[in-house]
Structure formats: structure tokens, C-alpha cells
């Protein structure tokens, strides 16, 4: 029997492929993504992470037990102490000082995605929230490994090699594996067949919003 996450990914295959194989992602792997697009993405992804930190704080509140509280706390710490620092470091190298990141205005795609996740968590339980978070948390790990194994991703001349290495690295891969384990644990306790279509709709929408986020970076959209 397929795991809960694999079932979601299979049933949302079109949306998932459009996300993980988006033109923006291919540009990262090939090193051909225009630099202005990456700068724009970095700023918006920093703002995105602030809202996702709030989502994990909400996950701790929604947690049905201490194990889920610990998972939420670990993820929250990773966002604030690892991912945001990576973005600050990369942004400074790409000509965006840290002060500009928090002062930046959120793009429409950033608002649409993050508020969808927060609204899902506010209205539902922890399984709803973790299902909405899964495309980002688990998807980035899949993208990182795929790009790191590609010829372009391995190239020393790829300007996005550090970004790829971060998401392909052991630390992030471990966080994604823990997120997947938590998702499966919650599903084992709370998933029913009657509930599955609603959760699948949540997963599909979150995955579409991920693809929209890449497109925002590609279009330099606000």
C-alpha cells in the first residue's frame, strides 16, 4: 500500500510535475536562470519563510501530542536559524543587504501561498496543516537531490550551486524525512477515506501555489 504522501503525489501528478520541473527549477539546475530572477526569488522566499515559521508555530499549537509539538519546534528552529540565514548570506552575495529583505514588500504570489497555508491550519487540524506544508518541505528535498545529481548542478561554474547543495544536503534531507514521517504518523491516526478528497484538494492547491511562486520569480512579478 502506498504511503499517504506517495498517494497524494500520485493523485496530484500533473501539479507535482509542473512544480518540480518548472522552468525556474530547470534554470537553477542548468545555471542558466537569469540572475535578477534569482535575486527576486531570494527576497520573496525570505518573506515566505517568515510566514512559514508562523505556520509551524501554529502547528505546535495544533499538535495533539508532545511528539508533534517537538516536530513543530524543530522545524520552526530550522527555518529561523538555518534557512533564513542561508537566504541572508546568499542575498548579500547577490547584492541584497539583509536590511532590504525584511523591508521588502510581499509579492502577490507570496501572499497567496502563505496565507493559504495559514488559513488551512487555522480552519483545520494538524493533518490539514501538514498536508498544506508538504509540497514545500518535502518537495524542496526532492528538487535538491535531483538537481545535485544533474550535470549542471554538479558544475563548479553553476552560480546556484550553493542553493542546490543546501537543499540536497544531509541537514535539509533529514528535516524533510522527519516531516514526511510526521505526516505519515498523523495520517495513520486521522485519515479516513471520506476525508481524503478534501486533503488531496489542499495538497493540489499548495502544489499549484508552489509552481506559481517559481513563476513569480521568473516573471519578476509583484
Structural domain boundaries enclosing 78: 4-219
The closest alpha carbon to 89, from 141, 163, 174, 144, belongs to 163
- How many structural domains comprise the chain? 1
Catalytic choice (83, 142, 166, 210): 210
Coil, strand or helix at 100 = helix
Q: Helix, strand, coil % (nearest 5) of the chain?
A: 80, 0, 20
pLDDT digits (tens, 9 = 90+) for 4-50: 999 999 999 999 999 999 999 999 999 999 999 999 999 999 999 99
CB-based contacts of 194-202 (< 8 A; 24+ apart in sequence): 199/8, 199/127, 199/128, 199/131, 200/8, 200/11, 200/12, 202/120, 202/128, 202/131, 202/132
Instruction: Supply the pLDDT for residue 99.
Output: 83
CATH for 33: 1.20.910.10
- Mean pLDDT in residue range 130-143: 98
Cβ(162)–Cβ(168) below 8 Å:
no
* Average pLDDT over the chain, rounded to an integer: 95
- Which residue in the list 15, 136, 142, 166 is annotated as catalytic? 136
37 part of the active site: no
Position 73 pLDDT exceeds 80: yes
Cα 86 to Cα 144: distance, rounded to the nearest angstrom: 15
Amino acid at each position: 500500500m502506498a504511503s499517504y504522501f506517495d498517494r497524494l503525489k500520485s493523485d496530484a501528478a500533473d501539479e507535482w510535475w509542473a512544480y518540480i520541473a518548472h522552468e525556474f527549477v530547470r534554470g537553477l539546475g542548468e545555471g542558466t536562470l537569469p540572475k535578477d530572477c534569482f535575486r527576486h526569488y531570494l527576497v520573496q522566499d525570505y518573506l515566505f519563510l517568515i510566514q512559514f515559521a508562523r505556520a509551524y508555530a501554529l502547528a505546535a499549537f495544533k499538535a495533539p501530542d508532545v511528539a508533534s509539538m517537538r516536530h513543530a519546534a524543530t522545524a520552526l528552529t530550522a527555518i529561523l536559524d538555518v534557512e533564513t540565514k542561508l537566504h541572508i548570506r546568499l542575498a548579500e552575495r547577490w547584492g541584497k543587504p539583509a536590511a532590504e529583505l525584511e523591508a521588502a514588500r510581499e509579492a502577490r504570489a507570496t501572499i497567496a501561498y502563505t496565507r493559504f497555508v495559514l488559513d488551512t491550519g487555522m480552519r483545520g487540524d494538524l493533518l490539514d496543516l501538514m498536508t498544506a506544508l508538504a509540497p514545500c518541505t518535502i518537495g524542496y528535498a526532492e528538487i535538491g537531490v535531483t538537481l545535485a545529481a544533474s550535470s549542471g548542478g554538479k558544475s563548479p561554474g553553476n552560480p546556484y550551486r550553493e542553493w542546490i547543495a543546501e537543499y540536497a544536503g544531509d541537514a535539509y534531507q533529514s528535516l524533510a524525512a522527519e516531516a514526511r514521517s510526521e505526516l505519515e504518523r498523523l495520517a495513520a491516526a486521522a485519515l479516513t477515506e471520506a476525508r481524503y478528497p478534501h486533503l488531496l484538494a489542499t495538497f493540489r492547491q499548495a502544489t499549484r501555489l508552489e509552481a506559481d511562486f517559481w513563476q513569480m520569480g521568473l516573471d519578476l512579478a509583484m
